[in-house]
Amino acid sequence: MYTYPHDELQVEQVLVSILGSFWDMLYAGRDQVASVASARGQAEQQTESDLVEAASSVGIATCPVYHRALWYPLTITQSARLPGTLLTYGEGAVYGPQPSNGIVYQYGVSPDTTSSYECPASLAATSLICDHINHPAISLINMVDFQLDRTRSVIIFRNDPFEEFVSQAVLDDDGNETDREITLWLYQADFDVARLYRQFGYVLGLDMPSSPGYADMLRASWDAVVGCTARQQIEDVLSAMTGSPLAKEDGEIVEDVATDAVQLLIITDKNVYRYAATATALVEPGDTLAAGQALTDVFKLYDLNLGEVPPVVAIGLNRSYFDPSIESDLLFVNRDVPLEVSTAEDGHTVARFQISGETADVEQFWALMDARGVASGNTLARLLDQRTNKVG
């Protein structure tokens, strides 16, 4: 947990005392000296943070998802205001009374009162927006006063910041005012600098925007490469891809399963697991969990070698699964279809069934499969033959 202050670089009195008793006790402009010392301390904090990030990037397990700027100045102009949009606190934001108890809960703010301004496309998150670094008079809180929309690279404000922050005039070459601007100071701003991809993702060809889910998928994928792809590693990859966490520890006890307007919550004595509201819980209060256990029905693995048949409509195989002479994808439909049995010119039995795809590619698939079956002595017809005496 972050605590303030967490080192002496954040304590203004300590920084001034290091300069000596004259600047600390006798100099009349001590406040100015304290401001300079505090600013230098914050600059050193950024250097320290960058160093820790660099050291942590050597391993996939510790590599930071984002680069963190302790303070980032974002200058916006009044003329750059974009149309307002709904400021929501989670998916499914609604207005008005709820059916359960009639109390009004406001989960959103009307587009008529909001304002949006562009921000760097790499900006992933920030916790506070202030008017100054030291002793700010205005502090806007994430998910209360503003919200970051990464898909459009904009910040949506509950109220127009030009009505709250002190703005400055933008002058042309002749000294005429052409616009107004303000500088917003973003506290602990996280930026996507593609560190995960540049360090580890490029090897596997997994180029995606940085996020905790992407980090989890990379870690699980690397574990699969090193560990010969065991079932647990496949489940970890699917968990990261779908945003559906598995149980973290052995012996966790489920205390509650709850659903709100945004998500499904499974609460244990050690962790809180969050899922999409449409997910169905597979556990109940009182259940004891095992590490790696699936808690919802978001995804499931089927052991085909044990005769488990997944309830899928069809399985489509990309052309990369086949011989280069097959140029399109093939679709195997999950339903009963007629078995076509014939006799080849050399007398062996040929068995086929319906496959969807380009006619030429389907014929080539069966020709290759039959030829390889004959060469190995295990044609599809022989594999389907359930007779005790397999003659004729």
Q: Report the amino acid identity of residue 28.
A: A
Question: Mean of the pLDDT values across residues 122-126?
Answer: 95
pLDDT recorded at residue 115: 87
pLDDT of 178 over the 60 cut: yes
Banded pLDDT at 111 (limits 50, 70, 90): low
Mean pLDDT of the chain: 85
For residue 138, count CB atoms less than 10 angstroms from its CB and return exposed for 0-12, middle for 13-18, buried for 19 or more.
middle
Residue 109: pLDDT band with limits 50, 70, 90: low
Per residue in 323-343, pLDDT (tens digit) is 999 999 999 998 889 999 999
Report the sign of the C-alpha dihedral through residues 359, 360, 363, 365, in that order.
Answer: negative
Q: How do residues 30-52 score in pLDDT, each as one tens digit?
A: 777 777 777 787 888 888 889 99
Q: 244-299: what CATH class? A: mainly beta
HSE-CB of 25 using CA atoms within 13 angstroms: 5
For residue 51, the SS3 value is helix
Flag whether the pTM goes above 0.75: no
In 3D space, the residue among 114, 107, 158, 143 whose CA is nearest the CA of residue 262 turns out to be 107
Residue 326: its pLDDT value, please? 92
Q: What angle do CA 188, 190, 196 make, to 5 degrees?
A: 140
Q: What is the mean pLDDT of residues 105-109?
A: 45
